[in-house]
Every structure is written in C-alpha cells, then in structure tokens.
A and B are shown apart, each in its own frame.
Chain A
Amino acid sequence: MRNDRLARALLRLYPRAWRERYGDEFLGLIDETGLTSRSAANIVAGAVTQRARLLLAWRTRETDPAVAIHVFASLTAREALIEWPTFCALFAGTVVGLHWLGVPLPLWAWWMQALMQYFLVRSDFVGPVTTPLRRAGIGYYFALEAMALASAAFLSGRLLIAIGLPEPTSDAFLFVPLLAFVTLAVRVGWCAMRSNQPHSEWPGARSWEVRLWRVVGITLFVAVSLGDSDMKTIWGMTTTIFLCRPIMNRLSRTSVARRREAIARLRKARVTP
C-alpha cells in the first residue's frame, strides 16, 4: 500500500499528457517489478527527462515578437493579475539572490533579457500551457536559463580561483569560459533537442540565412572582444547575442511560414491561449 502511494506520487512528477497516456501501464509495471530505491531514482530521472522533453518541444516552436505582442494584448485582467506579479516576484528574487552572491551583472541587462525572453516565450504558449501560473513559471524558467548563460563566465572564473588555479586576467576571466560555455551549451542543447524531440527542428536552424547571421555574429563578437578588454563590451555583446537570436530566427523561411500560421490561428480563434 505504501509502495503504491509512493509510485503514484512519483508518477505525478511526469507531465500530465504523459501520465494520461502511459500512467496506468506504468503503475502496472512498477506493481509487478516492485519499487526499490534504485527504481525510484530511475523513475525520477525519467520524469525529469520527460519534462525537459516537453520544455524543448515548446522551445522549438517559433517565437516571434509580433505573435507575443498579439498574445500579450489579449491577456485577460485576471491572467495579467496572476501572471505578471508572479513572474516579477520570481525574477526579482533571483536578481536579489545573485547580487547577494556577488555576481556582477548590471540590473538593466537582466531585466531587459528577462522581459525579452518572457515576451518571446509567451508566443510559444499557443496551446499547450493553459494556466497563468504555469505560463509565468515557464517564462521564469527561460529567463533564468538565459541569466545562467550570461553569468556562466563569472561563475566559471570563481570556480577557477576556488580550485586553486591562478586568478585569471580580466579577459580570460570572462571571455574564455564564456565562449567555452556557450559553445558547449549550444552543442548539448542541440543534441538534447534532437534526441528528445525527434519530429521537430530548431526554427530556421538549417537555413542559410541563420547560418550567415550566426557567422557574422560570432565574427563580430570575436573581433570586438579582441580589440577591447573592457568588461562592458563582453557583457554588451552577450546581451546583444541573446537579443538578436530571435531576429536571426525570424529571417528564415520556415519561421516566416510558422509565424503567419500562428497569427492566422490566433486571429481565427480570438481567444487567449
């Protein structure tokens, strides 16, 4: 009985759609194999993977400022009252927490990034996410993810010092770990998306326009960074890359087609997703 309750509790870690499809047979399997600490850990890991898969599925949808603004304009008062304060409280808490830890990033850049992410991510919520609280939570997740990437250089530098390596110079402190992390994150993210979301593609990832803009962006980033060791340049460029990413995506033919489709769907439905 206790195991049965625990199995049901563990099942609740999985996304609802997954539970509805596989829940019964999954519980049946656990019932037959028995629940050990090892299988419980395996179930938790499976749940994390499924949740990540769902997030990646949303992430791979087209994000577009036009759709986001359209969606934002159609917020009901109730939704706005729940969603915005929740998102702002979560984000403000994180900013205060990171400042408390001493992460030196200007507030304006965080807020700008967070708001941009939030607007863009909101356009992903045409369909799968229905409650304002959940939307705020997912918006916060993406903003947090972007911030983590932006803070990675600083944290990597702190790690170098912590493990006893010589204190890096200003350039190495920011530039080297940042580049390594961004490259790694992009690679891992791409692999994870391909393995978790077999039938989707990163919007416009394969189009020549996006490839061209990516090369231009990286070249510009490297050129400016080599010529100016000022920290502001590095952070400015990092923020710009984040802000330009959706614009790069917008340039692709796939993106344009999906954007038109999304706007048409919204106009037809005339409902808040």
Chain B
Amino acid sequence: MKKHDSLQDLGRFSEPALLILISLADSPKHGYAMTQDIERISGQKLGPGTLYGAITRLEDAKWIEPLPAEDRRRPYKLTSAGTRVLKARLETMRAMTKAAQARLADA
C-alpha cells in the first residue's frame, strides 16, 4: 500500500487541500468555519463539493482527523503527519517565491 507523501499527489484537490491544512494550522475548525477562514486568507470561496472532496482525501491520507460532532458541525484537526506535509509544502513554496522574486529583480 503506497501512502501519499506530498500534497501534489492529491491531483486537482491539492490546492483546496493546502488551503484546508493552512486553515487548520492554528486550531480545529468545522466545514463552515473553514470556508470562511479560507475566503478571508485567500479570497477563494470553496464550494461544498470541493471542500468535502478535499476533506475526504485529507482524512484518507490521515493528514487531518475528525473530532466529535457538535450538532451537525464536525470539527477537524491537523495531525502530526499533516503538519509535516504542510511544512514541506510551505518550504517548497518559499523557495519558489524566492527564486521568482530574484528573477523578477534581475529582469
């Protein structure tokens, strides 16, 4: 059984998954709180199908885990594996940003 080790393995769900991981980085959140938070930090409004498509995959990969439901709201929290994946992805993005900025400065 091969497990995912990178967000890129989630295909078209990699971007929503990254946004969810970022959203859960400071505290557990339920679906609605995640959409609000993601809209605030990225300007993107994730549809319910996209949000739960990504949540399903993140939970399968054991990068997030559900907490006990409160009424119809179920919060999710980041796992240690999820934190590791998020840090790795952010590190890659940081390197990309640095390289892009350097090239723009040279141009």
A positions within 8 Å CB-CB of B: 18, 22, 24-33, 38-39, 41-47, 49-50, 191-192, 194-196, 198-201
Given contacts A38-B47, A42-B49, A200-B1, contact A22 B56 (CB under 8 A): yes
Shortest A122–chain B CB gap in Å is 24
Q: How far is the CB of A210 from chain B (nearest CB, A)?
A: 16
Residues of B within 8 Å of A195, CB to CB, are 9-13
B101 CB-CB contact with A under 8 Å = no
**Residues from chain A with Cβ under 8 Å of B4 in the complex:** 198
- Please tell me if the beta carbons of B35 and A33 are within 8 angstroms of each other in the complex: yes
Q: 15 A-B Cβ contacts within 8 A?
A: A25-B30, A25-B69, A28-B30, A28-B71, A29-B52, A30-B48, A42-B50, A49-B53, A50-B53, A191-B11, A195-B11, A195-B13, A198-B4, A198-B10, A198-B61
- Contact A199 B60, beta carbon cutoff 8 Å: yes
Chain A interface main SS type = helix
Q: Does B89 contact A (CB under 8 A)?
A: no
The secondary structure that dominates the B interface is helix
Measured in the bound complex, the distance between the Cα atoms of B60 and A18 in whole Å is 12
Complex Cα gap A249–B3 (Å)? 22
User: Contact: B48 with A43, CB < 8 Å?
Assistant: yes
The CA of A266 and the CA of B36, in the complex, are separated in Å by 49
* A21 CB, min distance to chain B CBs, angstroms: 8
Are the CB atoms of B50 and A33 closer together than 8 Å? no
Give the CA-CA distance A24 to B70 in the complex, in Å. Answer: 11
Is there an interface contact between B32 and A18, defined as CB atoms closer than 8 Å?
no
Q: Which residues of B contact A18 (CB under 8 A)?
A: 56
Cβ of B87 under 8 Å from chain A:
no
Closest chain A residue to B2, Cβ basis: A201
Query: What separation, in Å, do the CA atoms of A44 and B10 have in the docked complex?
Result: 20
B72 at the interface (CB under 8 A from A): yes
In B43-91, which residues have CB < 8 Å from any A CB?
47-53, 55-57, 60-61, 69, 71-74
